[in-house]
Amino acid sequence: MENINKIIDKNFDEEVEFLQKIISFNTVYDFNNATDEYPFGKNISDCLDYVLERSEELGFITKNIDNMVGYSEIGDKDGDLYGILCHLDTVPYNNLDNWKAHPTSGAIIDNEIIGRGAIDNKGSVAATFYALKALIDAGVKFNKRFRFILGLDEESGFKCVNRYLNTEDIPKCSYAPDAKFPAVYGEKGILSLAIKRGFEAMPMEPVILLGMTAGEKVNIVPDKAVAYFGGKDIAKIYIQLEKFNRDYIKFDYFEDKMIKVEIEGKAVHAMNPETGVNAIQRLFGVLEKLDFAPKELNLWIKDMYQLFKYETDGKLLGINMTDEISTPLSLNFGMLRYDSENLQANFDIRYPVTINPEYAEETICNAMKKTGTAISILNHKIPLYVDKNSKFVKTLLGAYRSVTGDNREPIVIGGGTYARAFPNALSFGPIMPDDEDLAHQSNERISLLKLKTITKIYAKAIFDLNVIEKEIIKTTKIR
């Protein structure tokens, strides 16, 4: 591996430029401009085409599957197929004032590459691409087929991998470089649901809550929530708001006609909502102390505040599930929309890996009935739980330990990766065990040193998988 690591060092400036290039594509799912030809928007497809073109230059076999997913493959056509599962799409970026550089700039500041996707998941794409390039440059003979699968809809619903699984070869084993090191043998169940309710408009009332909005993705803790008030007596609300001596509340008074209330929070990934600050929960903490119409909505917000307050474990709802393997259940109040009559709120709930999915779904939905609204399940991804003593897991773990000297054991996470969509799969990196998870946050970034280390870990992992005689990984089906 010494020669391969030297090649990685030699190619590193080129790898950085490659990562900056793919960061420059705004690969947020473009709902407004999605077409039959470009189901997720043209920008995401352009990014895929760029990676596939670069792959062809290295001699990979490539395929773009309906601008939904693509792959680059190298190796013995008769060898076992191994998958490396990455994605090019990203979550939206907001609050540009909080960024040190534009999210699509790929700027290098303090030896870190800043940009949306730097960690989730374009950094892994660059590291994998240049790990494979180093092996090719070193003259390694590939005994297996390694297929670098690139999805375009990981953040919004996995339609990309579902398209792949419909028609393409299924890898014998796969790993997704989209989580944490040293290796991940379990991913919590993820239940996304929505609650909806209508409220009668009351245009003649003295103070009216006209609208609320917060959140762009249910899997991000919202960092901003906005409410609008109108009515002939809105000065009353202004006086009440002035009593809140908190730096996270801002409000504007527009010519005695409307008040805009803006609440700030801290965005983080929904798998660890306790590390962020939820702007919706803060907003409800303010609104429940105010008097406004519709009265029914006023009372509902007070009830919602009592059900959630600032908690992220579902304890107040009675759904704080735990087990001995993973972290406890987490709940993210991810999105809120109210337009003076209709309200919808979306939640991301992640439950421990050994909890029966049917039991979890029934228990959570029954608890959510306390909100007094119509409940609909948007998505349910059952837990992933694999045998951490399998040869496949130990091979990946060995690669990490060889490069870093860190002998920690594999872990269970709250995140959800492509690994749960493929048989015999788990997630593997790129975040180091002691590093802060910056995915979905302002100033998402990766250090140059970590990027190089990650590339060497993936090169070692692919090298070792290439020579392994027999791989066994057991996926535990939890029912």
Q: In this structure, are 58 and 159 located in the same domain?
A: yes
- Classified as helix, coil or strand, 241 is helix
Positive/negative CA dihedral, 433, 330, 308, 219: positive
Q: In this structure, are 137 and 162 located in the same domain?
A: yes
Cα Rg, the chain, nearest whole Å: 24
Instruction: Output the pLDDT for position 255.
Output: 64
- Residue pair 198/448 in contact by the 8 Å Cβ criterion: no
Q: What are phi and psi of 289, to 5 degrees?
A: -100, 0
DSSP for 353-369, written as a single string: TTS-HHHHHHHHHHHHG
User: Which of residues 355, 381, 407 is at a domain's end?
Assistant: 381
Peptide bond into 121 cis (omega under 30): yes
The burial class, CB within 10 Å (0-12 / 13-18 / 19+), for 255 is: exposed
Q: Percentages helix, strand, coil for the chain, rounded to the nearest 5?
A: 35, 25, 40
Q: In this structure, are 141 and 199 located in the same domain?
A: no
User: Which of residues 349, 381, 413 is at a domain's end?
Assistant: 381
Q: In this structure, are 94 and 207 located in the same domain?
A: no
Domain with residue 375: its CATH number is: 3.30.70.360
- Among the listed residues 275, 283, 336, 335, the one whose alpha carbon sits nearest the alpha carbon of residue 305: 283
Instruction: Output the pLDDT for position 113.
Output: 98
The burial class, CB within 10 Å (0-12 / 13-18 / 19+), for 108 is: middle
Q: In this structure, are 123 and 200 located in the same domain?
A: no
For residue 422, what is the DSSP state? S
3-state SS string for the chain: CHHHHHHHHHCHHHHHHHHHHHHHCCCECCHHHCCCCCCCCHHHHHHHHHHHHHHHHCCCEEEEECCCEEEEEEECCCCCEEEEEEECCECCCCCHHHCCCCCCCCCEECCEEECCCCCCCHHHHHHHHHHHHHHHHCCCCCCCEEEEEEECCCCCCCHHHHHHHHHCCCCCEEEECCEECCCEEEECEEEEEEEEEECCCCCCCCCEEEEEEECCCCCECCCEEEEEEECCCHHHHHHHHHCCCCCCEEEEEECCCEEEEEEECECCECCCHHHCECHHHHHHHHHCCCCCECHHHHHHHHHHHHHHCCCCCCHHHCCCCCCCCCCCCEEEEEEEEECCCEEEEEEEEEECCCCCHHHHHHHHHHHHHHHCCEEEEEEEECCEEECCCCHHHHHHHHHHHHHHCCCCCCEEECCCCHHHHCCCEEECCEECCCCCCCCCCCCCEEEHHHHHHHHHHHHHHHHHHHHCCCCCCCECCCC
Domain assignment of residue 449, yes or no: yes
Q: In this structure, are 150 and 273 located in the same domain?
A: no
CA 46 to chain centre: 21
C-alpha 159/C-alpha 165 separation (Å) is: 10
C-alpha 68/C-alpha 45 separation (Å) is: 8
**Residue 46 annotated to the active site:** no
Q: Pseudo-torsion of CA 85, 89, 91, 97, nearest 10°?
A: 120
Domain assignment of residue 268, yes or no: yes
pLDDT digits (tens, 9 = 90+) for 165-186: 999 999 999 999 999 999 999 9
Q: In this structure, are 279 and 346 located in the same domain?
A: yes
Q: In this structure, are 28 and 176 located in the same domain?
A: yes
C-alpha 89/C-alpha 26 separation (Å) is: 8
pLDDT profile of the chain (479 residues), mean per 10: 94 98 96 93 96 96 97 94 97 88 97 97 97 96 96 91 96 95 95 94 84 93 95 86 86 81 93 95 95 93 95 95 93 96 96 95 95 93 90 95 96 90 94 91 95 98 87 46
> Which listed residue (89, 112, 155, 187) is catalytic?
89
Instruction: Output the pLDDT for position 241.
Output: 86
Domain with residue 26: its CATH number is: 3.40.630.10
Q: In this structure, are 339 and 422 located in the same domain?
A: no
Q: In this structure, are 145 and 258 located in the same domain?
A: no
Peptide bond into 410 cis (omega under 30): no
Q: What is the pTM of this model?
A: 0.81
Domain assignment of residue 396, yes or no: yes
Q: Which residues have C-beta within 8 Å of that of residue 192, sequence separation ≥ 6?
A: 218, 219, 346, 347, 348, 349, 377, 378, 379, 380
Domain assignment of residue 460, yes or no: yes
Q: In this structure, are 338 and 228 located in the same domain?
A: yes
- Classified as helix, coil or strand, 272 is coil
Question: How many distinct structural domains can be found in the chain?
Answer: 2
Q: In this structure, are 371 and 392 located in the same domain?
A: no
- Classified as helix, coil or strand, 282 is helix
**Residue 89 annotated to the active site:** yes
> Which listed residue (30, 153, 154, 155) is catalytic?
154
- Residue pair 342/198 in contact by the 8 Å Cβ criterion: yes
Instruction: Output the pLDDT for position 470.
Output: 58
Which structural domain, as residue segments, surrounds residue 177? 2-187+384-467
Domain assignment of residue 99, yes or no: yes
Token pair of 51 as six digits: 């990676």
Instruction: Output the pLDDT for position 45.
Output: 97
Instruction: Output the pLDDT for position 477.
Output: 44
User: Which of residues 381, 408, 437 is at a domain's end?
Assistant: 381
